[in-house]
Amino acid sequence: MLTNKRWKYSLFLIKNSKALIMGLALLIFVLCVTFFGPLLVTANPNLVNLQEKLLPPSSGHPFGTDMLGRDILSRIVYGARNTMLAAAISVVIGLFFGVFLGGIAGYAGKKVDMGLMRSADILLAFPTLLLAMALCAALGPSLEKAALAVGISFIPSYMRLIRSKVLSVKEMEYVEAARAIGASSWRIFSHHVLPNSISPVFVASMVYAGFGILWTTSLSFIGLGAQPPTPEWGLMILQGRDYVLSGQWWVVAFPGIFIAIAVAAFNLIGDGLRDILSPKLRIT
Amino acid sequence: MIPYKYILFRIIAIFPVVVGAVTLMFIIMRLIPADPVLMLIDPAHRTPEVIASMRKAMGLDQPLYVQYFSYLFNVFRGDLGYSWHSGHTVTEELIMRFPATLELVTISLIVCVLVGIPLGILAGWRRGKMADHFASGITLAGLSLPPFWWGIILIILFYFFIPLCPAPLGRISIGVNPPTHITGLYLLDSLLTGNTVVFVDSFRHLILPVAALAFFNLALLTKLQRSEIAEALESDYIKTARAKGASETTVLFKHALKNALLPTITEIGLIFGGLIGGEVVVEQVFSWPGMGRYAVDCIQFVDYAGLQGFIIVVVLTFTVVNLITDLLYAFIDPRIKQ
């Protein structure tokens, strides 16, 4: 009965958040493109046809063709999978290691905290995109490695976020109670402190997923991420950029619109969740 | 009273961070799976003897720890090493490119502050009203449009379709001589020498890159400022002020703003970091002759000293800006003066 009421209340909150509804709608659209798009778009994304190069949008090619005559719509649809995968990899890496290390720093305190957080400070002294760029160069150019590099550069921010939350949660009475009945440190950390500290991290993850897409496509754009002929949105913009000044705007325009839609979806969901979970919580 | 001890402590604390950053960069560069020696030798001349002598000349035959400590020692003496791919010293390269980057980042920062803060204040003050919705739209667009794509779209719109801005090829038109070198910042130098032609020309070249670079960070600043104001307006001292009959403008300007603008100072440091990162990508789009393009070249040519030098300059600038904003915060906020 109680769970039913809670569920209804959650639904009520979701219904009242325009940002969340809009964000979810956009995300569902992007996910549909990712999973069902390849079933509908039958053109081969890598099929080179030089006789049809740089054709403007038409009924045969709704988004036109690129400099090798490849269908842009088809490349965007197949590229969605790559971009969403990159976003997922970067967030999972940042989330997992950030929560683990930041949680330990906050919970253990003293020297462990000092050591871990000073290391995080060194990483935070780099602008995020630059750190990702350098790491990506070291790991070698590929989309997965670019996503890994972006994920690593997220770790220190996640660490800070979870650490500050853990510091306040570990002073709570229920933690003291658990200690009083003889629970081990690890049990207190994993069963009490971490689960109660994690909600702001999940909200932040939505924003980081958006950043993940922006930074991995940026890395592809400077040649460090996805490599040709992979259909990837950032790389498509890089390849189309030389044709902009001769008037073939569609090669660049459409992939960018899809990046913006995907990032906006995560930003809106993040905003909506933040308003619902805690009106005073802020993510920077 | 000025807390000298605290300031001194903060200045000293910069060193471990910079040394850590240099060390990390040193390791990352050595992990790049390409041999810088081979990048510099023409494939036709790659005999073992040539490779070995080249490796020796570049100091790469030494053990890694020797390379590291001699690099660190040289950095503290102010010598950033030799940029293999360009043939100049790294210091020369960076000095040559720093003004272009500084000009782009500073003007973008000014635009962010002048537009983002008032827009955020307006949105937080008129929460749920038209102004707020407008600001939310701007924020969402700014945070979602990838800056490199947005830059290209601006070029399509304002160079190709409506030719308002000059070709996206550097800081100044071909055929226009740069102003006499004083600071290296073209806007400032042309103003100082009274050269209006160059001033107008370099200003027009700045419009699109600044618009591309500033938008994302402007949106971030608007979002942060909005929530600061909204939070301040919900607090008890505002209720007290209202209960005492203060007008809405007094409440906003005398009470809410005073408190909500304080955290903004530290946020400006954050924005500055975002601008330096974004600048690397935007420079590619506009062929801007700054440090960001040099850094990308260094990665492609596996130029160890070049990229390490760039990172030192960036980390140092970023850390010093953060230090200044923190100190300013502590100086202005009477609660932290202790």
What total number of domains does chain B contain?
2
Q: pLDDT tens digits for B12-65?
A: 888 888 899 889 989 988 888 878 888 778 778 778 888 888 888 887 888 889
The reply to whether B37 and B116 lie within a common domain is: no
Smallest CA-to-CA distance from A209 within A273, A120, A280, A119 is with A273
Residue B43 forms part of a structural domain: yes
Q: pLDDT tens digits for A106-162?
A: 988 889 998 998 889 888 888 888 889 889 988 888 999 999 999 999 999 999 999
The reply to whether B289 and B328 lie within a common domain is: yes
Contact residues, chain B, for A256 at CB < 8 Å: 145-146, 149-150, 152-153
The reply to whether B121 and B21 lie within a common domain is: no
A 203-222 residues with CB below 8 A of B?
Answer: 210, 214, 217-218, 221-222
Residue B337 forms part of a structural domain: no
Q: pLDDT tens digits for B132-152?
A: 999 999 999 999 999 999 999
For B224, the closest of A214, A237, A284 (CB atoms) is: A284
The reply to whether B104 and B63 lie within a common domain is: no
Burial (CB < 10 A; 0-12, 13-18, 19+), residue A162, is buried
Residue B85 has pLDDT above 50, yes or no: yes
**ipTM of the complex in this document:** 0.88
Residues found in chain B: 338
Q: Does the distance separating the beta carbons of A253 and B24 come in below 8 Å?
A: no
Query: According to the model, what pLDDT value does residue A21 have?
Result: 92
A 182-201 residues with CB below 8 A of B?
Answer: none
Cβ pairs bridging A and B (under 8 Å): 139
Residue B107 forms part of a structural domain: yes
pLDDT higher for B180 or A97? A97
Q: Does the distance separating the beta carbons of A125 and B319 come in below 8 Å?
A: yes
Smallest CA-to-CA distance from A136 within A255, A220, A27 is with A220
Answer left, alpha or beta for residue A223, where phi above 0 means left and psi between -120 and 50 means alpha: left
How many CB atoms are located within 10 Å of the residue B254 CB? 12
Contact residues, chain A, for B295 at CB < 8 Å: 130, 133
Residue B338 forms part of a structural domain: no
The reply to whether B119 and B254 lie within a common domain is: yes
Select from B89, B124, B142 the last residue of a domain: B89
Contact residues, chain A, for B18 at CB < 8 Å: 125
For A133, the closest of B149, B274, B280 (CB atoms) is: B280
The reply to whether B122 and B141 lie within a common domain is: yes
What confidence category does residue A284 fall into, taking pLDDT thresholds of 50, 70 and 90?
A: very low
Q: For residues B275 and B269, give the distance between their C-alpha atoms in angstroms, rounded to a whole number.
A: 10
The residues facing A65 across adjacent strands are: A71
Residue B115 forms part of a structural domain: yes
Smallest CA-to-CA distance from A71 within A88, A87, A52 is with A52
Residue A283 has pLDDT above 60, yes or no: no
Q: For residues B179 and B177, give the distance between their C-alpha atoms in angstroms, rounded to a whole number.
A: 6
Select from B53, B70, B89 the last residue of a domain: B89
| Backbone φ, ψ for residue B58 (5° rounding) | -85, -5
The reply to whether B25 and B105 lie within a common domain is: no
What confidence category does residue B158 fall into, taking pLDDT thresholds of 50, 70 and 90?
A: very high
The reply to whether B40 and B112 lie within a common domain is: no
Query: According to the model, what pLDDT value does residue A155 have?
Result: 95
Contact residues, chain B, for A217 at CB < 8 Å: 146
The reply to whether B181 and B242 lie within a common domain is: yes
Residue B294 forms part of a structural domain: yes
Task: Residue B116: give the domain boundaries.
Answer: 97-332
The reply to whether B58 and B17 lie within a common domain is: yes
Q: Output the domain CATH number for residue B189.
A: 1.10.3720.10
Does a cis peptide bond (omega within 30 degrees of 0) precede residue A229?
yes
The reply to whether B110 and B16 lie within a common domain is: no
Select from B68, B89, B110 the last residue of a domain: B89
Contact residues, chain B, for A114 at CB < 8 Å: none
Are residues B46 and A150 in contact, defined by beta-carbon separation less than 8 angstroms? no
Query: According to the model, what pLDDT value does residue A265 have?
Result: 95
Q: For residues B289 and A235, give the distance between their C-alpha atoms in angstroms, rounded to a whole number.
A: 23
Looking at CA atoms only, how far is residue A36 from chain B in angstroms?
A: 24
Residue B178 forms part of a structural domain: yes
Residue B294 has pLDDT above 60, yes or no: yes
Are residues B253 and B259 in contact, defined by beta-carbon separation less than 8 angstroms? no
The reply to whether B82 and B147 lie within a common domain is: no
Please give the mean pLDDT across all residues of chain A: 87
B115 alpha-carbon distance from chain centroid? 18
